[in-house]
Amino acid sequence: MKSTFILLALVVSSFTNQPLSAQSRKKTSPSDPVARYDAYVRQAVQDWRVPGLTVTVVKEGNVLFKKGYGIRELAGVATDQTEPVDTKTLFAMASTTKAMTAACIGMLVDEGKLKWDDPVANYLPDFMFYDPAVTREIRVRDLLIHNTGIGNADVLWAAMEIPSDEILHRMRLIKPTYSLRSSFIYQNIMYLAAGKVIEKVSGMPWDVFVRTRIFEPLGMSRTKALFREVTDANRAKPHFESNDTVRAVNSLKEESLVDAVGPAGSIWTCPDDVSAWMICMLDSSRYGGKTLLKPATWAELFKPQTLVTDSEFYPTQQLTKPVWKTYGLGWFQQDYRGHRINFHTGSLTGMVAIHGQLPDQKLAVYVQGNLDHAELRHALMYRAFDEFSLGVDRDWSAEFRKLYGGLKQNAKLAERKVDSTRVLNAKPSLPLAAYVGSYTDPLYGKTDVSLRDGRLYVSINNVLTGYLNHWNFDTFRLVYDQWWNGKDFFNFELDTKGKVARVRGAGIELTKVQEGALKGTMEH
């Protein structure tokens, strides 16, 4: 049934997703397409105010375009230098790592050491879900396609420092958002579990496996599997935009947290290396006389595995208007101008990436940048498809700037609307000292609230910190010391005796440790 749907969608898309007019096919310049694309990228980098960027394009087994733009880090924060980005500059792959993790599973399938539809419990008997039925039924394939029913649980690695085994252990405490395989919600921690399956079956930790089975055969000598291995000075630094100003940030602690879920997004690479991976994934996993996967296994990576809902897809769909949207094994998929594309984005603490394929044209593009959620990545991907294969001239950069600019404006309006609901001159129910204390939860860890200079101050697992500014009654607004994380609401709840009992906010829910309980715990 699913394959029939996809086939029909592809046929329909060939008629419905064509250029809007003859004018969109008219080339603006007779110049060489590589020079034209280079000029387009340079303008886009300037328009989107991205400090540094790399773009790599491969076609029919050859590197067609490979270049660095801008600088690794804006001056004035951590350094006074402005080193240029080149084709050796390391950037975070972030979630484009997932395709490599899926390929690693495929290698073990080829060796007969596991099957895609083996129960995960065969390999990770201690990995349990809230629903015992899901624990029994979950398959290796399910770890790679975001259909387990578990919602976003990134707080387990982005807001606490716990080992990867502990992250997986706490998954049993998360109530499902929907039933197994009935929908799609993007989920990073399942890829951590996939990495643990690789370790169990191969006897090698995921980072060693990916290095020996992908990086080394492809000659990716600069690529690093974990953030803690990125010690080269030629690396990009993360940047965020705040109040219309782009600033570099010193977020080494947050960047390092991704290693706990490495198979989901910890790899760093550069154009000189990633071009080999791009060519390999376009050509049945062959590169330089080597073959990473059997043809059938390679093809399995790109078979649609599950449908992606509108709410879980990219805002770009408002303009590209795909007929269908699916997820393979580590790849998003959609139709574009009558062709199938495979792609995946990556976003991590001030870094972005996108890896896109137009497989029937043997074309792929990879973009990496050092500005948080700089969505010119989508524009440069579609522009490369148009420029180097489809013969179309459409200014995706301008259109996506308008689209995402509108979304940003809508978010600001929504925030103002929420602020308008505040009750003027409302005060907290209790003196500020009553909110002070430790709040704990088996899933979310420990949050401490203290008084500093007459204001409430919060520390979430000793990772995220900031002041709590009173907002409305018992609701406070957390302004992070790590300013790039923005703001979050913290709502304190009182019990029937009028004492502070719980707090909710920043994606966590915790119970206050009462003085007697805390004393008993300390004495024990």
Question: Pick from 500, 512, 517: which is nearest to 432 by CA?
Answer: 500
**pLDDT at position 254, please?**
85
Question: Using an 8 Å Cβ cutoff, are 45 and 420 in contact?
Answer: no
- Nearest alpha-carbon partner for 264 in 169, 341, 157: 157
What angle do the packed helices 396-419 and 376-385 form, to 10 degrees?
160
What confidence score (pLDDT) does residue 517 get?
A: 53
pLDDT in tens, 396-419: 999 999 999 999 999 999 999 999
DSSP 176: P
CA atoms within 13 A on the CB side of 347: 13
d(CA 149, CA 137): 12
**Phi, psi (degrees; rounded to nearest 5) at 408:** -65, -40
Question: According to the model, what pLDDT value does residue 19 have?
Answer: 39
CA distances 512 to 12, 153, 449, 516, Å, are 56, 22, 10, 11
Distance CA 387, CA 502 (A): 56
The pLDDT tens digits of the residues spanning 180-224 come to 999 999 999 999 999 999 999 999 999 999 999 999 999 999 999
Residues with Cβ within 8 Å of 94's Cβ and at least 6 positions away in sequence, in order, are 265, 345, 346, 347, 348, 351, 352, 353
Whole-number pLDDT of residue 4: 36
Give the tokens for residue 345. Answer: 């984005």
Give the pLDDT of residue 318: 98
CA diameter of the chain = 80
pLDDT at 81: 55
The C-alpha angle 58, 274, 359, rounded to 5 degrees, equals 40
What's the pLDDT at 25?
39
The dihedral through the CA atoms of 42, 48, 51, 55 has a sign that is negative
CB-CB contact of 60 with 44 (8 Å): no
In the predicted model, residues of the chain with pLDDT beneath 50 are 1-28, 30, 77-80, 518-524
DSSP string, 405-427: HHHHHHHHHHHHHHHTTSPTT--
**Cα–chain-centroid distance for residue 234?**
23
The pLDDT, as a whole number, for residue 82 is 78
Predicted confidence at residue 79, as pLDDT, reads 45
Using CA atoms, how far residue 184 sits from 51, 139, 189, 261, in Å, is 34, 16, 14, 20
Helices (runs of H) and strands (runs of E) counted in the chain: 16, 22
Question: Are the C-beta atoms of 344 and 354 separated by less than 8 Å?
Answer: yes
Please report the pLDDT score of residue 224 as a whole number: 98
Domains of the chain: 2-114+204-411 (3.40.710.10), 432-523 (2.40.128.600)
What single letter denotes the amino acid at residue 94?
A
pLDDT at residue 13, rounded to an integer: 37
Q: Are 127 and 196 in contact (CB under 8 A)?
A: yes
